[in-house]
Structures are given as structure tokens and as C-alpha cells.
Structure 1
């Protein structure tokens, strides 16, 4: 039986962690011996393994994760709020029994004091093919996770706008060089969940010569499924006679990555357009901020806080008439896929991998990038859509055809067989 070990920093914490666990579930259902081993384990799921074998190791791991965040403040420009990972800390994983026994090593998100370039290069000693799913841009940059308009990843980084003291040989340039040295030693096969990510990989100075393929993430279509909308609204205490917009994590207006300011502006524009009919619209917000720390919305708003239960989250999507995601850069955001899987259309900017999921006019609306006016057009469009039932059916159909566990597991299985065949043909690395 084919043995695959998935390596990730956390056990389902964040989009990458969830993608890892969902793929693992799909592969197991397809008859693969698939296991997940993580750097730091938050939950108690016994099937998820960890590199920490005792409480002392776990405490040390937590300390290095915290230390990296604290020390990073000395290097980063405080006016920038873009995620950036350094390579000061790391750990070796090559002696773990499941890593040694695996036929294929599948990497996911490996930051936060986990697999720095030096420890990544150690994997070459195992002479196994490495599949690496890129959940953001960090693997092929000098440290940033989100690039926006920066094109330094096309060269050798340096002069990083996120650093306090950028110059030609700054920290980003040094990290780039560390990664370049590590990657030259490794048999890496890149998985890009979106066409946007694949295009970025093929253009990058670090990864352009590595084999890369586009395979989307997956999700539990049996959990994230359409439900009776009236019943779903009733469970959340929402009025059945109002149009419900749902949106996720609500950051401050200063958080560029999530586009909060554009959402606020577009909602204000929509209220003006609707006039007296604005009372027929209500907004629902879920995420890890409470009602005291969010802006004042122009519509009646219900705050649900953090939702850790997928069944409840699915109920939220099913209750909504449309999902709003104003993100300015995202690989293949799960909130979009989850919403569509529940039969709820999406309004989003045309950015990142979102167009791989949202087909304009078919299962949602793709607004012009960074245009609040266009985003408001999208909300207006879905409110006045003449056939919402068809829109909902097409949303669900998109996920079942392109992103279901069975479909994505088979695509990965084909990739694993291909990279194993190449390894056997090439023989052992010298």
C-alpha cells in the first residue's frame, strides 16, 4: 500500500492545516496509507501525530514559535502588516518513523520555527520524492507570505519593503539564498492549488525549474452541503424575510490583506442605492473578533464570533443568501469553497485563486479589483437575481465537479504515482 506522510506546522489551525487534514481524509477514503505529523498540536485527535514526544518538547516548540514573533518586531517595518517568516529556528524531522517509512513526503505549511531551509535540505538524505503544496507565497520569496504588487520574488529578493532597514543584502536576500541552496538539493514537486499560484511559481526565481502542477484543495462536501434556507435562518435567529449577507473574519480597516475598508465602502454604497429598501438586508459576521472591535456597519449586523464547529459553520453558509469576501490576495480561500458547497453564491474581487472557484455570473460575482463600486455592483446583482434557486444549485455543482474529496484524492494519487515512477527511473541520488 502506498504510504504518504503529510507534514504541517499545525493540526487544522488555519487554511493550510485544514487543507492538509481534508486531503488526508480523502486519501484514506481512497485506500491510501496517509498520515499527518505536525510541529505543534493544539487538538486531541489521536490520528494526528506530532514531532513532540513529551511536554518538554512541546513547551520548547511553543517557546520558539513565540520567540520568532517577538524577535521579528526588531526587523519588520511596523507600518506594514504583511505576514513574514524568518529562519532563525527549526527542527529536524528525518528521524521520525513515519517520515522514514513513507513512500512520499508531502509538505504543506512549514513556517513558525519549523522547517527552515537547513532542516528542509536534510530531507534529501532520505532519497524520497517530496510533494509540496503551496498555501501561500512564502516558499518562493525571501520571507513574505503575501506579495501584493512586489515583484522581488522574480529575482533574488533584497530591498524588501517590509523590513526596517532594506538594502541589497538585507534579511530577505539572505533567506532567499538559504532557500536557493536547500532547493537545489531536493527532489521537489510543487502543487499549486490555483492557477494564480501556479503562474507565480513558474515565474519565481526559486521554483521556476521545479515540476509543478495545479491541484485544488478539497473539503468535506457531506458537511458543507445545502440545507433548507428557512430552517438554517431559524437556527441562527435570522429573519426569513430579509436578504442575508454573510462575511468572515472582520479585521480592522488597516488590515490590507483582507480588504476590510473596501467592504465597508461597498456596503455604504449599497445602502445608498437601496434607499428605503435597505431595511430588507441584514449582515452576519463570523470570525475571531467580537462586536466591540469591529467598525459600525451601515446595515443591521449580527456577530457570531469564532465558530469552531463545521456543522454550525455550514449552517451559517446555508442560511446566507450570498457570501462576501473582499480579500485582496488569496490562494484558494476555503471560505469561498465552503460557501459554494453549501449552495451559497459568492461576491469577491477578481484576485488570486478566487476566479478558479467563482465563475462570474454563474455561481457568483467577480468584482473589479480594489473597486468598492464594482463590489457594490456584485451585491446589487445577487440581491436582484431573477433565479436564486438556479444560482444556488450551480454553486453546489461547481464544488462537486471540481473540488470534492474523491476528485482531489484521485488527482493527488496520480501525482504520487508519477513522482515515484520518476524516482525509480532516476535511481538513487548521489
Structure 2
């Protein structure tokens, strides 16, 4: 079985990473799987690209930059991603697509497959699968919806646009997508139950069949290390209670919920029985320490970590991984942490509850409640059998998200789609 995965970039962001992980899992399970991307930032043995020649690269760069910056003319100064999808390119003459048995789409924004060029894929007459790594495929432009429910109808009155109304840019984009999808036969994969439920109540996709198949992770790389030794590696006293979090942008970044996490840390530090000197905060992925706010505990900044084995040791050094994300499909950081036997404390949102089981391998806090996040930290701080919670975190990943498990589910879906093809 020949499977080709399409993604805008190689390994960039959660979608790119998930795409590469699935590709590796499928190949390990006996399929002939490859990833082809719109643009490569550097040569790679893992993927091939549609933009090979100098002219193709130049056009790709133009499209990517146009999509990223022209949108600023129409969207309010908010940190919620929005795509115009005006720019794109045709790929239907590519030999790899013609020779594939299955075409599997992933994240195709930033000037890659606009609705016009997406619709052309129907000419290839191949079974198509599309994994929704965010909400953009079924909205009029946004990637993160929050409380907005306009996608239940036909978008319009978009809260992100400078000029909003019944026939605004989001509604017109919705109409373009509707036209493109009308003759395009594809099967939807949602990595989380939350995403699947969102698809089912959307006006664009509600009638289509959806399979919930999670992303996977390299369980041989993201694995537990001895906590005391991992802490020593980071020059942290082994007896300290270590809280870890990913990159914290400014307080105004709505998506990451940074303000809630900062408030929760402050509340936790003031709880009776919490000895501040025994707690240390570790942050990885931060771009600039100068952007960081004041923290109530000693804080270690690890910077960007590009080596996965080292990242796994960092996760292993933590007693808890914290995320205050307000909307996330199936965040890689949560899966990585659990794979390293580190419990996760997070809000009940998106696909996080698919991975984090309350009081079993972590703590699920009430949505947008800094008090509840602090409760999760306090619970784990005082917990005597942390080792049992840690073991359960690892077990969850091995039984539900391991490469062989996820590959098998995809292969079963592919086979069913091939069997349904007219002969």
C-alpha cells in the first residue's frame, strides 16, 4: 500500500510533527509511506518537496509570506491565527500523487492548497484522508475558535475581522470552501473526540463521516529516565518538586492561557504547607528570557531544545508538566510528558482529556480556573504515591498512543476506503 502525506512544512509545529510520526509508524508497520511538503527550510531525508527549482521555491516563499502578511490588512491585532487561503498551487500532475494508493492530507495552509487547488485532487480519483490538526478546514478562516459558534451556520460576523458582518470575509471564505468540498470525496480523521464533535456540528463538514484516531509518538525516544538523575542533569537538587512548562508568550496570548498559569502558580505558592524553596519551575522553548514575567519560584530557562532525547530527559526531571492551553486538539507536549512518565496538570479542553485521566495520570482542572490548576499542583505536591501516577502516565501512552497501535488504526481505515473504491 502506497500512502503519500501532504503537509505545508516538514516537522514545523504540532501538525508537521504528527505527520512525520505517523509516516514513521506506517513504514514500521509495513506500508510504503512518504511525506511530501510544500516547502522545506533545509534538505531532508525524511521528506520530499513540491518546490524543487529556484522558481518553485521563490513562488512558495511568495505565497507563504503573502498568506501570513496580507491577512493583517483584514484581521484585528489579535494573536488568533486566521487564513485567507487566496494563494496556492496545483499538485495533481505530480507523479508521487498519481502513483499513490492513498492521499493523506494534514496541515495545508500558508499558500499550499487553497480551496481551488484542493478541489483539483478529485481528478486523481484516489481515496483521500484528511487529518484535522486544527479547526480551519471547517471555519471561514480561523484556526482556533474559542467560544465562537458562527461555524455552526455559515460563518460571518467574525469577531476576528476589522470589518465584520453577514457577508464578511469569513462568510465568503466559507462559501469558497463549500464549493470546493461539494465534489471532493475525502474521509476525515480527528485526532481527538473534541475535534470530532466539533466537525459533526459544523455547517461545512457535519454530514461527513469522521474517525477518531489519535496522533502517535516515538515511545522509544520519549521514555522515562530516573528522576533523580534527570534532575541532576539539569543541575536541580533531586529532592526538589519540579514543575515544567513549555514556552510562555506574553500575557496577551489568548491561546496559551499564560495569564491563568501565572495566577495558578502564585496561588499555589501561597497555599499552606507549600515550601517555596522546595519548588522549582523549569521552562523550555522560551524565545527570550527578557519577555518572561516574574515567577514565585526559582525558575530555570532551558531555551529551545532540538534534541528529542535531551527533551525526554527534561520531561523526566519534572514532577509535573503544566499547560494552561485554552484550546488544543491533541497537544504533542502533553503526550510527550506522559510518555516520559510525568503527570500533566491541564484544563479540561480540547483533546487533553483523551490523554490525561483525572487523578490517575494527572489532573484535569475546570476550564479557565486558576484555582483548579493550583489545586492540581497542590494535590501532586502532597501525594505520597507519585510513582503509581507516573507509571500510569507511561502505561496510557503505550496502550493507546504507541506507533503500532495508531498505525494499525490508519491501515484499517485505508483498507476500508480502498475496498469501497469502484473496480
TM interval, shorter chain, is over 0.9
Residue number in structure 1 paired with 2:281: 283
Q: Report the equivalent of 1:32.
A: 31
How far is 1:306 from its partner? 0.9
Q: Which residue of 2 aligns with 1:9?
A: 8
**Take 1:269 and 1:189, find their aligned partners in 2: how far apart are those partners?**
46
1:246-275 deviations in Å (ceiling 9; x for gaps): 000111100010000000000000111156
Instruction: Map 1:16-415 onto structure 2 (within 5 A).
Output: 16-78=15-77, 80-274=78-272, 277-415=275-413
Q: How far apart, CA to CA, are the structure 1 residues paired with 2:344 and 2:159? A: 33
CA distance in 1, matches of 2:314, 2:54: 37
CA distance in structure 1 between the partners assigned to 2:307 and 2:344 by the alignment: 21
Distance 1:399 1:393 in 2: 10
Distance (Å, rounded) in 1 between the aligned partners of 2:334 and 2:274: 30
Counterparts of 1:288 and 1:62, CA distance in 2 = 26
Residue 262 of structure 2 contacts residue 295 of structure 2 at CA under 8 Å; is this kept in 1? yes
Say if 2:268 and 2:274, in contact at 8 Å, map to a contact too: no
TM-score, normalised by the number of residues in structure 1: 0.97
The 2-side partners of 1:122 and 1:28 are apart by: 28
Give ranges in structure 2 of 5+ residues lacking alignment: none
Distance 1:12 1:42 in 2: 10
Deviation at 1:238, TM superposition (A): 1.6
Contact 2:338 2:394 survives alignment (8 Å): yes
Deviation at 1:276, TM superposition (A): 6.5
Shift of 1:115: 0.5
Count of aligned residue pairs for this structure pair: 423
After superposition, what is the alpha-carbon deviation per residue over 1:188-217, rounded to whole angstroms, capped at 9, x for unaligned? 100000000000011111111111100000
Q: Tell me the equivalent position of 1:419.
A: 417
* Helix, strand or coil at the partner of 2:175: helix
> Counterpart of 1:65 in 2: which secondary structure?
helix
Aligned mates of 1:155, 1:123 — CA distance in 2: 26
Distance in 2 between residues matched to 1:337 and 1:22, nearest whole Å: 13
Moved more, 103-112 or 227-236: 227-236
- Deviation, 1:360, is 0.1
Single out whichever of 305-314 and 62-71 deviates more from structure 2: 62-71
Aligned partners of 1:291 and 1:303 also within 8 Å: yes
Q: Distance in 2 between matches of 1:43 and 1:405?
A: 26
Deviations 1:38-58 (A, max 9, x none): 011124322311001223321
Instruction: Kindly state the Cα deviation for residue 295 of structure 1 after the two structures are TM-superposed.
Output: 0.8
Are the equivalent residues in 2 in contact too, given 1:331–1:352 (CA < 8 A)? yes
TM-score computed with the length of structure 2 as normaliser: 0.98
* Cα separation, 1, equivalents of 2:212 and 2:115: 24
1:188, 1:211 within 8 Å by CA — same for their partners in 2?
A: no
Give yes or no for contact 1:290–1:303 (8 Å, CA) kept in 2: no
Partner Cα separation in structure 1 for residue 127 and residue 164 of structure 2: 36
Distance 1:418 1:400 in 2: 26
* Larger deviation, residues 230-239 vs 105-114: 230-239
How many Å separate the matches in 2 of 1:276 and 1:417?
55
